[in-house]
Structure 1
């Protein structure tokens, strides 16, 4: 049986994320509600070089801090469902603002591709983006695309394939916080690592717990309890 890889699309609202999803999946998609949530889920399929992919269009969010139901859904999918690849779609004309979400996701998962969308609009405005420099700085592939015109799609699809199949290994840049926060992370992380093992980034969980993310704590308790009960 041919393996199907899962690819999640994340991004701020109005970055063209759903346009990219539609362009990649065409008519091979359907919508429904997330289990137990009043949040619409769009899923679609894509075949590239004989490999099948299931694409999940996550709700558009400005952060993954569980301040809203949409943010919780997007966060939980990336952290707990562990897609093989997460595409973070950013707007080339508002790159600085959009990269905030990208940096948050890089703390959660390694297999990330940054898609700089609307590159045609950026060029019209005289905006030049050095994707190779960003790739080196962020430690993950950064690809310029135009979802409307399907510009950059061959490179994007080949990069998804390489990342999903383990031919490409990402080393996301780690954000270093001030000394006091780093000391607290270092003291908390061993306890978190013992609890979550290697299923989730213990550093990211420690950060969220230090920030008082009760929603994540409840989710961890619920999901770890399920795993223990099924063992």
Structure 2
């Protein structure tokens, strides 16, 4: 349907990602296995204004490399299935540890919302988070929420809607690496771009290939290389 949009939920385990999913979708959800995978996923719908957001609860992971099946599945969904918006759920009480995953997602895709969950718990511990500063640094919307108490939901849903309509443009901050790594990226990125075009981030693919990510290389071969030339 023309008014349905896919929203992926990514996050470390125990950040309240599934609590957010359950609170937003209520009874409008179901669980099933990924095609060809043993990893299960939950999907649910959220009607908002004239649209329906189809939420996909990705496996909880600490990174999006290829260290486990969960990581691979979550990463492949964001990169290859291209959800309209990706929500990255962070724990407000462990923000520094959680930001690693957020920075990885920002390298992979453009339309990202950072959801800082458990904000009520953080306030009890005297933790103050300047979401506007984070927004300026990261280049994407940052929303403080409490999934358990449904705090921040109207702003979160409105932000997703405004990204979809183009009222908000995301400009994810680009991580800078050492001069040596940046030089290697410059060398191989043009060849990567010839293969993937603008369908996925050629810079991100270049980084992963420099890191020796064989699982990603196999996935790229399956998706982008014609059978006759493999």
TM-score (norm 1): 0.97
Distance 2:56 2:11 in 1: 12
- Measured against aligned partners, the alpha-carbon deviations of 1:15-56 in whole angstroms (never above 9, x if no partner) come to 000000001100000001111111011000010012111100
Structure 1 gaps, min length 5: none
Distance 1:222 1:212 in 2: 17
- Measured against aligned partners, the alpha-carbon deviations of 1:136-187 in whole angstroms (never above 9, x if no partner) come to 0000000000001110111000000011222211111111000000000000
Alignment of 1:1-231 (within 5 A): 2-225=2-225
- Measured against aligned partners, the alpha-carbon deviations of 1:117-144 in whole angstroms (never above 9, x if no partner) come to 0000000000000000000000000000
Distance 1:167 1:201 in 2: 23
8 Å Cα contact 2:3-2:50 kept in structure 1 = no
Distance 2:77 2:221 in 1: 16
CA shift for structure 1 position 2: 4.0
Distance 2:106 2:121 in 1: 26
TM-score (norm 2): 0.97
CA shift for structure 1 position 225: 3.7
Distance 1:77 1:159 in 2: 22
Distance 2:143 2:41 in 1: 25
8 Å Cα contact 1:2-1:52 kept in structure 2 = no
Q: 1:2 to 1:199 in 2, by over 3 A?
A: closer
Distance 2:113 2:205 in 1: 22
8 Å Cα contact 2:117-2:147 kept in structure 1 = yes
Distance 1:117 1:85 in 2: 18
- Measured against aligned partners, the alpha-carbon deviations of 1:42-77 in whole angstroms (never above 9, x if no partner) come to 000010012111100000000001100000000000
| SS of corresponding position for 2:143 | strand
Structure 2 gaps, min length 5: none
Distance 1:205 1:119 in 2: 34
Q: 1:183 to 1:2 in 2, by over 3 A?
A: closer
| SS of corresponding position for 1:46 | strand
CA shift for structure 1 position 97: 0.1
Q: CA-atom RMSD, angstroms?
A: 1.1
8 Å Cα contact 1:140-1:170 kept in structure 2 = yes
Structure 1 runs, 4 residues or longer, greater than 3 Å off: none
